[in-house]
Structure 1
Amino acid sequence: MIVSPNVTTTRIISSVIKGLYDELKFSRVVLIMPSQDGHLTMRLSEGLTPDSPFHLLKFQTAQSGLLKVLMTKPQSLWVSSTNFQKYDAMLPGSFKATNLSQNFFLMSLFVGKKSVGFVYCDQSNTEQNLDQHLYSEFKSCLMLTNKALAFIAQSNKPKVA
């Protein structure tokens, strides 16, 4: 893997969020990360309107049910209209209040073994449906992102003589 030493984790994550929106054509792409006070909040996004409820998203990590489980290891989830009821009770109310689509992808982001948040993507504003091919592309993109973030973290560790 070739990653320039000048590339920061912020730049990589920003590029990935923009790429998911521009290249894979998701309607909404949202990066949700823990804030300093321990809440999960939206940090970066593409495709949100200025009045989107995602801008107000804030909930305790401990109360996040499914999202807390998602952040225990690098993993992804495809919630669709056929399995939404299965996951509905495990999603925080404030997360569902964001005009949540019943068809979306989630995947955790990690730097090495440390969870740094997760990415939410949907097709709420288009007629394009989520499908297996798009899910595979989404997962591949974020798995490579996790590898790049781990590589940068390892490269930035002080060298022990």
Structure 2
Amino acid sequence: MKLHSYYANIKDSWILADLVHIPTFMIPFLLICYITGGNLKEYGFNLNEEKFFTHKRMVTVGVFFGILLSLRYILQIAWHTPLVIPHTVTVLNIVGNMTFQWIIVGISEETMFRGLIQTYLRTGSLLTTIIIHNTIFGTHLTIGYAIYWILGS
């Protein structure tokens, strides 16, 4: 079976990554809306923050990390080193990759793990939360957790 030419263009590009990460955001977000009955503040969505502060902070952090992550390619371009990029370099692919790395990944992962899983776990006992959290995320139970659990209960 011959693959269509459009498949060859998007095979390793940001489009497929977006198609995976957008449902990774939507499914937990809809679950959070269902669980809270629409009260998103219970799960850490801060809708009353001053917009200037939030927008200024997000732009600053986004530009900083965007430049930091782009240093690999900037240095290669400046020194005329050949780049290994799995798809064609076009303005659309550059903008698509930047929006994917800067926006889509962060929102989907924060909604899934910090928003849904960690907030839901915090509603139970602290010890159960620590054990389940460590099992899911592969971290070990440290003495700090144990002391916090003993003093907090």
> TM-score normalised to the size of structure 2?
0.29
Higher relative contact order (CA 8 A, sep 6+): 2
More helix by share: 2
More strand by share: 1
Q: Which has the larger radius of gyration?
A: 2
> TM-score normalised to the size of structure 1?
0.28
